[in-house]
Amino acid sequence: MSTNQETLRRIERLHVRAWPALKTERIDGWLWRWSGGGSQRANSVSTVDFIGNDMASALDRVEARYGAEVSPVQLQTYDLSQPLGLTDMLMARGYIANNTTVTMLATARPAAPPPGVIVTDDPNPEWLGVYMEAITENRRAVNRQILRRIPDPRAFFSVRRDGRVISTALCVAAGGHAVAECIATRADSRGQRGADLAMRALMAWAASLGAHTVGLQVVAGNQPAIALYHRLGFVPVGTNQFWVRR
């Protein structure tokens, strides 16, 4: 699918909206985020927008703000981050490139949701059990708090097999777009198409709300997940990079 820059910006903003940090502050258009715990997105600066005229001064304030929380300084950049020259300044200041994620998009088309997928407005205990098992322990407490803050319209997807939930997903929609989050499968249930069914249900739900594009972000080295998303019609359209200075 062809993707223009404005679509990529809207998807990036929706990913930011879909995972709300516990503390935020606007710094010349950048969104400073802090939540504690291990979540990179919820503890990094989103650099989608910039309205200032002094990048170095804005970065000074970012560093001071994280210093006040006694936290590493982290920023999240993507292909259209503002202002130009940001990554060069980060490297000059000694920031280290950390995890890279790939943004992938697919067209949402009306479809009947697949059987065996439960859709709820909130994460039920089984959904939480599967998702929490799939993430690192240092992210669990904070992520539970973030999940309670997910904005509407939202939907939580649980794939049941043999009387238990084996896969999860979360979708948040806005303005003709939707993003997928929290895609997880039990370690002992891999290969049973759980994530495939969750994503198909998610895309059908997004289309039912009028979304024409679904986006997701996946760790660049997660080849099995990327292969799944390709089979579902997702194509890579951009990259995100986390930068850290301790």
DSSP string computed for 99-159: EEEEEEEEE----PPPTTEEEESS--HHHHHHHHHHS-HHHHHHHHHHHTTPPSSEEEEEE
Per-residue pLDDT of the chain (246 residues; tens, 9 = 90+): 557 999 999 999 999 999 999 999 999 999 999 999 999 999 999 999 999 999 999 999 999 999 999 999 999 999 999 999 999 999 999 999 999 999 999 999 999 999 999 999 999 999 999 999 999 999 999 999 999 999 999 999 999 999 999 999 999 999 999 999 999 999 999 999 999 999 999 999 999 999 999 999 999 999 999 999 999 999 999 999 999 998
Which pLDDT score, from 0 to 100, does residue 214 have? 98
Which pLDDT score, from 0 to 100, does residue 189 have? 96
Which pLDDT score, from 0 to 100, does residue 54 have? 98
- CA-nearest of 241, 244, 243 to 102 is 241
104: left (phi over 0), alpha (psi -120 to 50) or beta: beta
Which pLDDT score, from 0 to 100, does residue 71 have? 97
DSSP string computed for 48-79: S----S-HHHHHHHHHHHHHHTT--EEEEEET
Structure-token match 């669990």, residue found: 140
Which pLDDT score, from 0 to 100, does residue 50 have? 98
78 alpha-carbon distance from chain centroid: 13
- CA-nearest of 117, 108, 102, 112 to 193 is 117
CB 42 within 8 A of CB 35: yes
Which pLDDT score, from 0 to 100, does residue 246 have? 80
Instruction: Tell me the residue length of the chain.
Output: 246
Domains and CATH numbers, the chain: 5-102 (no CATH), 106-238 (3.40.630.30)
CB 169 within 8 A of CB 189: no
Inter-helix orientation angle 194-208/223-231, to 10°:
50
CB 142 within 8 A of CB 177: no
